[in-house]
Chain A
Amino acid sequence: MIRYLKLYWMFVKQSFMQASAFRLNFWMLVITNIVFFGVQFIFMDVIFSNVSSLSGWTKYDMFFYLGTYNIIDSLWMFGPFFNLLTMSESINTGMMDMYITKPINSQFMVSLRKVEVSSILSIFAGIGMIVYALIMSGRTLSISRVALYAFTILNGLLIMYSIYFILSCLSFWFIKTEFVEQIHTILCYFSMRPAEIYKGFIRFVLFYILPYGLMITISAKSAIKEVTLKEYGVFLVISWGLFSLTGLMWKYSLRKYSSASS
Chain B
Amino acid sequence: MSRYLQVAKISWQNALIYKANFIGTSIMNIFRVIAEAAFWAVFFEVSKKDSIGGYTLFSIITYYLLMFIIGTFINANQTGFSIANDIKTGRLSQFLVKPVNYLGYYMSEAISKKLLQLSITLLIFIPVFAICYKNLVFNIVPVQLIFYPLVLSLAFILNYLINVAFSLTAFFVIEITSFFFLQEIIFNFLSGGVFPLDILPKSILGVFRLLPFMYVTYFPISILNKGISTSELFYGIAAQCIWIIVLYIIIKILWRFGIRLYAGTGI
Contact = CB atoms under 8 A, between A and B. Distances in A.
A172 B28 CA distance: 24
A50 interface: yes
B178 A198 contact: no
Contacts of B177: 25
B243 to A, nearest CB: 22
B194 A43 contact: yes
A32 B175 contact: no
B207 to A, nearest CB: 13
Chain A residues touching B, majority SS: helix
B31 interface: yes
B42 interface: yes
Given A39-B194, A50-B47, A31 B185 contact: no
Interface stretch (A71-79, A159-167, A189-197): A189-197
A77 to B, nearest CB: 13
Interface in A1-51: 22, 24-25, 28-29, 31-32, 35-36, 39, 42-43, 46-47, 50-51
Contacts of B43: 47, 50-51, 54
Given A31-B182, A32-B182, A46-B199, A186 B32 contact: yes
B200 interface: yes
Interface of B: 20-21, 24, 27-28, 31-32, 34-35, 38-39, 42-43, 46-47, 49, 52, 175, 177-179, 181-182, 185-186, 189, 194-195, 199-201
Interface in A46-86: 46-47, 50-51, 53-55
B181 to A, nearest CB: 5
A174 interface: no
A54 B46 contact: yes
A189 B35 contact: yes
Nearest to B201: A46
Nearest to B21: A178
Given A24-B178, A31-B182, A39-B194, A189 B31 contact: yes
B49 A50 contact: yes
A28 B179 contact: yes
Given A50-B49, A186-B31, 8 more contacts: A24-B175, A42-B200, A46-B199, A51-B47, A182-B24, A185-B28, A193-B39, A198-B38
